Amino acid sequence: MTKWFYREVLSNMTRAERTIKNKDRLIIEAAVVVFAQKGYASATVADIAARAGIGKGTIYEYFASKEELFFAVFEWFKLQTGVAAKVNIGVLGESASKRLEALSDAIMGMWEEIEDVFTLTIEFWAASSSSQIRDRIKKAFRKMYREFRDTVAALIREGIERGEFRSDTDPDSLAAALVGAWDALFLQAWFDRSFDPLTTSKNFLKVIINGLSRP
């Protein structure tokens, strides 16, 4: 499981704070596995405690409920994928098209890391229809997708301003389409393990960039 987030957080903490965060991390990593294997509805706090090798009561010292822990897992998953969305975007001197390609490669290249827990995405989507946590998960998804679209749209807009992309391009519409395409490629790869999302994404984006580029 990727450790980048915890390294960044722990680097600026006192020893006491690190002890707390390490336990927090242990619980979240156990919850990731349990929710991925059993689903939100079937998983119990006892299951997660057993996976983490701690007492059930210890979990409640860090998370008030299973719902709170589920949202902590959602934040973990969002951070996992969100960091990929920013890789190489800020590299100076690179063209907008090259940075868009780097963005796509970083996102789709995560498949091997998240393949075993991708079922969490299905759980998050399913939770958006649950009467208990529907509003909260929908709000979280709305924010996540808006930020993702804005990141991609800003990159496309920059390409237009630099004269790389056609001026009649609608950055927001194209960004929404690209985000949707990346989501769909992950979903297809989850259903069909012989499907290669990275190669497909490269070929797909090549067509998009060719259409965007000014003659």
pLDDT tens digit sequence for 91-103: 545 888 988 888 8
Work out the pLDDT band at 138, boundaries 50, 70, 90: confident
Distance CA 179, CA 151 (A): 10
Distance CA 147, CA 196 (A): 26
Average pLDDT of every residue of the chain:
81
Domain 4-66 in this protein, CATH class: mainly alpha
Q: Per-residue pLDDT for 58 more than 50?
A: yes
For the chain, give the percent of residues with pLDDT over 70. 80
Residue in the block written with tokens 């991708």: 118
Two domains, one topology: 4-66 and 85-212: no
Burial tier of 123 (Cβ tally within 10 Å: 0-12, 13-18, 19+): buried
Integer distance in angstroms from the first to the last C-alpha of the chain? 44
Span 85-212: which CATH code? Answer: 1.10.357.10
Which has the higher per-residue pLDDT, 168 or 18? 168
Number of Cβ within a 10 Å radius of residue 19 = 11
DSSP H or E segment with residue 23: helix 15-38
Q: Per-residue pLDDT for 28 more than 70?
A: yes
Q: What is the pLDDT of residue 89?
A: 58
Per domain, the residue ranges of the chain are 4-66, 85-212
Q: State residue 131 phi and psi, 5-degree precision.
A: -65, -25
Q: What is the pLDDT of residue 87?
A: 52
